[in-house]
Chain A
Amino acid sequence: MDPSGTLFEPWLEEPRQASIEHREGGEEMKNLVKINRERCKSCGLCVHICPKKILSLGEVANSKGYYTVEMKDQTQCIACAFCALICPDLVLEVYREEKGV
């Protein structure tokens, strides 16, 4: 894992064909946002709405040429799901840690 906590390949590498990516990590990881990159159109609504400001438009394009959303810091995510609510393209799925699991 690189220092920013992402699994993204550097933009010079070929974008992955598989569209689903998600973050998994260490003990501090509580909640989870899955990103379906192929559906993303770079509209920026989720970036704008996230109250923790942990989403951003990245530097890796999907097969349609859109620079897709990236999770900058999953550990800060409060699973409010505002991003998934406002996303018009079903890009984001949000999961919350279950207590006691």
Chain B
Amino acid sequence: MKPILTKTTGLTDRHFHYCPGCTHGIIHRLIGELLEEMSLIEKTIGVAPVGCSGFCENYFACDMIGAAHGRAVAVATGAKRARPDRFVFTYQGDGDGASIGLAETISAAARGERITSIFVNNAIYGMTGGQMAPTSLVGQRTSTSPYGRDAETMGFPLDLPKILTQVEGAVYVASVSVDSPQGIKEAKKALRKAFQVQIDGLGYSFVSILSTCPTNWGVNPVEALEWLQTKMKPCFALGELKIPAIEGGSKG
């Protein structure tokens, strides 16, 4: 029989602790598959965030460093400058990358750090129990916006990949969504390109992945996919927002 989709050596055998239906697991699998397919596992240093995926060092088969909240990109910078021959990626949620870690993310992009950031946007703070995130939608109820996010007092969601297209050192910026098999395949393509950008030493690569949080959104996993499709996707720029100039793409 021909294997179509089987276990990857890029992940360990540990069972994931994530909630039923949480899309972290899908994204982990894509990364694991790519690390295996691109023969990167032994050369990789991954940086784990603080958040639901703060335990992901147990799931990726490569060396991992656990960073403080928001600082994964700084830690990755330190690691990559120390070992430029290694493949270094960060895995962060929306708080880690776009709130407390916003300065580090944009600064690393500005410096064109040869690292790859994977940004998991589920419009909420999952691990701490469902508070508002910088990516939460206007009107979205969270535990710290119980009457719905009010733009007047709490502002608007941040579209981080869109911001990064304006930063010259960020040479590959993609925004994808894992709400469907098609979306998952596109996400893997984007991740592969982002990884290749680092391997080719072109600059900073960033992939934002729209994801679900059924538990804190208060819906079941299937409803969560639908909320992602109908409510979240319209709010964020999607696609390959910026590709390396040598590919013949525009600067963004």
Contact = CB atoms under 8 A, between A and B. Distances in A.
Q: Do A and B interact?
A: yes
Interface of A: 31-32, 38-39, 41-45, 48-49, 66, 79-82, 84-90, 92-98, 101
Interface string B185-214: 100000000000000000000000000001
B24 interface: yes
Interface of B: 1-7, 11, 15-16, 18-26, 29, 180-181, 184-185, 214, 220-222, 225
B181 A41 contact: no
Interface centre among B5, B11, B21, B221 (most CB of A within 10 A): B5
24 contacts: A41-B20, A44-B222, A48-B222, A81-B4, A85-B185, A86-B26, A86-B180, A86-B184, A87-B26, A88-B23, A88-B25, A89-B18, A90-B11, A93-B3, A93-B7, A94-B3, A94-B6, A95-B2, A95-B4, A96-B1, A96-B2, A97-B1, A97-B2, A101-B1
B45 to A, nearest CB: 23
B220 A85 contact: no
A90 B3 contact: no
Contacts of B19: 41
Contacts of A94: 3-6
A84 B16 contact: no
B222 A96 contact: no
B5 A44 contact: no
A45 B211 CA distance: 14
Given A42-B20, A44-B220, A49-B181, A90 B25 contact: yes
A84 B181 CA distance: 9
A32 B214 CA distance: 30
A85 B23 contact: no
B184 A85 contact: yes
Contacts of B181: 49, 80-82, 85-86
Given A42-B20, A88-B18, A88-B26, A93 B1 contact: no
A42 B11 CA distance: 21
Contacts of A85: 5, 26, 181, 184-185
A39 B1 contact: no
B185 A44 contact: no
A89 B7 contact: no
